Every structure is written in structure tokens, then in C-alpha cells.
């Protein structure tokens, strides 16, 4: 019988969900979905001094925004202390763990002495065979093998060997009774039946210790896959100077979740030359065999390109709810969803983010758009007064108001006057939008509606008459 694949994502709630963490979550989610398995969410909150409810909520919000639903959880490590104590007792009873009473000051002094002697500054095993029992200020340590090596058969990096003599007798439980990271992770993964541990390669050095703990507990090893880090364009580890590192910051900048998911999955994974994937295609094609070994470079321009693609592909109606947040932030007046959807449709081909779209939409929503004085001086000139008056009359007489009829009016007018369309189109654009840049002119007039378009054209005529 084939094993059921179970993956997990275990963030620490000490801050927001980082871009690198989101990619790890995505790889775990996709691997489980691809193989019909389960994806578990676990909150590793044993660092109680730094863990906050606010961070838990921020992580859950980011997971939900990315649509990375979990099959079980979220489980919290702080609610599992009884389970850790049970496994700690097993290690103590089997002789794989022991109590240590060395103080922090003593340990620091011995580390300094070891370094001065050119030795590795690891725990020297002082309490290994003293047979100590529990007591104040005592920790529990793992009795690491002193000879031999530990092998990691990594699904991404291949085989890696670690000399046991280089490893430490790591602390399993601190003197306050709180389990340490490496111990809690192993117990969690055993009890949650995790079959595949997919994580960043900054965890590689933790893995031999964890493998030894699995073996000491007589548990089946999961498959390990360590994926390369995400780097900035200067090849330094991704940080705020390379761009936003928080997932939700991208939501706040106007990116769509499907664009960010598509972008993150391509940071380190490929399927031929394909760049754009639907959610179903990602599930269908994802495999660890095609995760690269080299670090991935975060390229904001590529993300902008993908986001622009997804904005174009979305229905205008579906973009209205997330766009309204940005319109509200700009202090723009609310409009009915149908009107907004019509305006969105004209801006989709030219918007890289929703924030950019909201900024471009101002002229659709205000009573009077701010006028670019340079554009007004250049295009709202006396020579355009007669064509503008004729256009106002023609639009005013229109009974059926749509793009096709508007276009016909413009073409008839330029034919009568013997001028090029641009000669009248650009002044009209400035009159209607306050700018020389906008969506197609006939689309703009159609969205604004007859009454608003005429009011703005007459206002421009007044401005010209006052010059």
C-alpha cells in the first residue's frame, strides 16, 4: 500500500509571513495536492517572548489571501507540551538523553577556552555520564554519537554526509521546561505522520541532529528536501532593501494573489519554458525533481509583468472589490460596482497593479479632474474652439450613446474639417481627463456618460474663452 503524502508548513509567529516562507508553504501545498496527500499548518510558538497573536493572525491572513488552504491545523506547539514530555521521557529512559547542570557562564568559559585551543566550541560532555536527575536550572541534552557519520539523502541537493564528531549534545528541554526547536519539530513531525519535510536550505545543518533524534526514537525518517534561498538582485539574501519581504505588503501594493503565487513557484521550480500557470496546472505539474539547486533571484520587474497579465485576464467585475480599497485610500468618492467595472475594463490593458489602476481612475470618479496646466496650454488653444463647439453639438444630439456612434461622430467631424483625428482627439482627452494620457477616447466618453462628458467639454470651452 502506498504511503499517504503528508507535508507541513511550520511558521514561527514572531512577525509577518515572509516571501521565502510563503514559497516554502506553496511548495509543500503543491506537493501534497499533486500526490493527493495532506497539507498541515503548524504554528511553532515556543519562543513565547517573541510570539504574538497579531503575528499568528498576519500569517493566517496571508495564507488565506494566497489561497493555500490547510487540511489539518493550525496546531500550536505551546498546546503540545505533554506530548514533548512523553517523548523526552522515552529518550531519558533509553539513555539517549541526560540531565546537565552546567551554567551558562561555565559553558561560555569552556567555549572560549576551546576556541583559544583551536578546537570546535561545542559542549564538552561534562555531565554526560554523571547520572544526574531533574533539578533546578538543569536542562536535558541529547547524547549524540561521538563517532561515525549521519547521511542525509536530500530530494533536492542529493546525498550529504555529516561527521557526528562535529555535532553537539544539543539541549532538548531548557531549564524552564520549554522544548527546543529541533526536538519539538521532530516530535511534531513524528506524531503528525509527516512524510516529506520541504524547507529552506538554511535548515540543512539542523537535519543531522533531527535524523539522530528520529533514530533514537525508533521512528521512520521522512523524506527531506531543502530548497535554495531567495536572493536579491545583488545576490545577497532577500531583505527589505530589495523590495517588500512581507506577503501582505504585496497585497497592499496592489498585486493579485494568483500573480504572486505564479511568481513564487517559478522562483526555483520550472516546467519547460512555461511561465504562466493556472492553479490547476501548478498542481498537475509540480514535482521536486524540477526544483533547482541554485538560489533564485527576486526580480520585481518580472512580478510586475505577471501581475499585469493577471489583471488583464481577470473579469472587470472581479477586480472591483479589491480595487475599492485603493480608491478609498485615495479619498475618491464611491461609485456603483457596474460603473467601476466599466471603468476598470478600460484600464486593464495599461495597469501593472491595482494601486496604479486606482491612481489612473481618478478622472472617472471626481466631479472635475485636476487639469495639467501644460497640457491645457498646449492643446486647449483658440484654433480648437470651433471643432470643440461642433463636437459638443453632435454629442448633445445623440440619442443612442455608445462607443460605435461616438467614433462615427469624430470621423465625420474630421472629414468635414479636413483635419487629422489627433488634432481634435488630444484636446478632447485633456478636456475630459485633465491629462494627455488615458485609455481610448471613445471608451472614456462611453464610461463617463453623455452628461458628464458634455459638462467637461463645455468647461474646457469656457476655459479657452477666458484665455
Three-state DSSP class for residue 197: strand
Q: Give the whole-angstrom CA distance, residue 430 versus residue 379.
A: 7
CA distances from 133 to 13, 127, 130, 188, 327 (A): 33, 11, 9, 25, 65
For the stretch 108-144, what's the b/e string if a residue is b when 16 or more beta carbons lie within 10 angstroms of its beta carbon?
A: eebbeeeeeeeeebbbbeebbeeeeeeeeebbbbbbb
User: Is 240 a known active-site residue?
Assistant: yes
Question: Cβ(20)–Cβ(239) under 8 Å?
Answer: no
Q: Give the whole-angstrom CA distance, residue 379 versus residue 358.
A: 26
Question: Cβ(60)–Cβ(43) under 8 Å?
Answer: no
Question: Cβ(390)–Cβ(358) under 8 Å?
Answer: no
What cell numbers appear for 333 in the block? 468618492
Question: Cβ(279)–Cβ(258) under 8 Å?
Answer: yes
User: How many residues are present in the chain?
Assistant: 467
Which position has the grid cell 536550505? 201
Residues 6+ apart with CB under 8 A from 199: 24, 225, 226, 227
Question: Cβ(199)–Cβ(24) under 8 Å?
Answer: yes
Q: Give the whole-angstrom CA distance, residue 91 versus residue 81.
A: 15
- Angle (CA) 435-441-447 rounded to 5° is 100
Nearest CA to 357 out of 439, 466, 451 is that of: 439
- Options 120, 240, 330, 378, the catalytic residue: 240
Three-state DSSP class for residue 335: coil
The verdict on whether omega for the bond into residue 426 sits within 30 degrees of 0, i.e. cis, is no
Residues 6+ apart with CB under 8 A from 84: 173, 179, 183, 184, 187
Nearest CA to 185 out of 98, 84, 86 is that of: 84
What is the three-state SS of 115-143?
Answer: HHCCCCCCCCCCCCCCCCCCCCCCEEEEC
Q: Which sequence positions are flagged as catalytic?
A: 240
Amino acid at each position: 500500500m502506498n504511503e499517504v503524502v503528508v507535508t507541513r508548513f511550520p511558521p514561527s509567529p514572531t512577525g509577518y509571513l515572509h516571501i521565502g516562507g510563503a514559497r516554502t508553504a506553496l511548495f509543500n501545498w503543491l506537493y501534497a495536492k499533486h500526490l493527493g496527500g495532506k497539507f498541515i499548518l503548524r504554528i511553532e510558538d515556543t519562543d513565547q517572548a517573541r510570539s504574538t497573536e497579531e503575528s499568528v493572525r498576519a500569517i493566517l491572513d496571508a495564507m488565506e489571501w494566497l489561497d493555500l488552504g490547510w487540511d489539518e491545523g493550525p496546531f500550536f506547539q505551546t498546546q503540545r507540551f505533554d506530548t514533548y514530555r512523553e517523548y523526552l521521557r522515552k529518550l531519558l529512559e533509553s539513555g539517549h538523553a541526560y540531565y546537565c547542570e552546567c551554567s551558562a557562564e561555565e559553558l561560555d568559559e569552556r567555549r572560549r577556552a576551546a576556541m583559544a585551543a583551536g578546537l570546535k566550541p561545542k559542549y564538552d560532555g561534562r555531565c554526560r555520564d554523571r547520572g544526574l536527575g531533574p533539578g533546578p536550572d538543569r536542562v536535558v541534552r541529547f547524547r549524540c554519537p561521538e563517532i561515525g557519520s549521519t547521511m542525509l539523502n536530500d530530494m533536492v541537493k542529493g546525498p550529504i554526509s555529516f561527521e557526528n564528531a562535529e555535532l553537539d549534545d544539543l539541549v532538548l528541554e531548557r531549564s524552564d521546561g520549554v522544548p527546543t526547536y529541533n526536538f519539538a519539530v521532530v516530535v511534531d513531525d513524528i506524531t503528525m505522520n509527516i512524510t516529506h519535510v520541504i524547507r529552506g536550505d538554511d535548515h540543512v545543518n539542523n537535519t543531522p541532529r533531527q535524523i539522530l533524534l528520529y533514530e533514537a526514537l525508533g521512528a521512520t525518517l521522512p523524506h527531506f528536501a531543502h530548497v535554495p534561498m531567495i536572493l536579491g538582485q545583488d545576490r545577497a539574501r532577500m531583505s527589505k532593501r530589495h523590495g517588500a519581504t512581507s506577503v501582505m505588503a504585496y497585497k497592499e501594493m496592489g498585486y493579485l494573489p494568483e500573480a504572486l503565487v505564479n511568481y513564487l513557484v517559478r522562483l526555483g521550480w520550472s516546467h519547460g519554458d512555461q511561465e504562466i500557470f493556472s492553479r490547476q496546472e501548478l498542481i498537475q505539474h509540480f514535482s521536486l525533481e524540477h526544483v533547482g539547486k541554485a538560489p533564485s533571484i527576486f526580480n520585481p520587474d518580472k512580478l510586475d509583468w505577471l501581475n499585469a497579465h493577471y489583471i488583464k485576464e481577470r473579469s472587470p467585475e472581479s477586480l472591483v472589490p479589491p480595487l475599492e480599497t485603493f480608491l478609498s485610500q485615495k479619498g475618491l468618492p464611491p461609485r456603483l460596482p457596474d460603473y467601476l467595472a466599466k471603468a476598470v475594463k478600460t484600464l486593464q490593458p495599461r495597469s501593472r497593479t491595482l494601486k496604479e489602476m486606482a491612481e489612473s481612475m481618478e478622472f472617472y470618479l471626481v466631479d472635475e479632474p485636476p487639469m495639467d496646466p501644460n497640457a491645457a496650454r498646449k492643446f486647449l488653444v483658440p484654433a480648437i474652439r470651433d471643432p470643440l463647439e461642433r463636437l459638443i453639438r453632435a454629442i448633445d444630439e445623440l440619442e443612442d450613446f455608445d462607443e460605435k456612434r461616438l467614433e462615427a461622430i469624430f470621423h465625420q467631424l474630421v472629414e468635414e474639417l479636413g483635419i487629422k483625428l489627433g488634432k481634435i482627439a488630444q484636446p478632447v482627452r485633456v478636456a475630459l481627463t485633465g491629462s494627455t494620457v488615458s485609455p481610448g477616447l471613445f471608451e472614456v466618453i462611453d464610461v463617463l456618460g453623455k452628461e458628464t462628458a458634455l459638462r467637461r467639454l463645455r468647461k474646457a470651452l469656457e476655459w479657452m474663452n477666458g484665455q
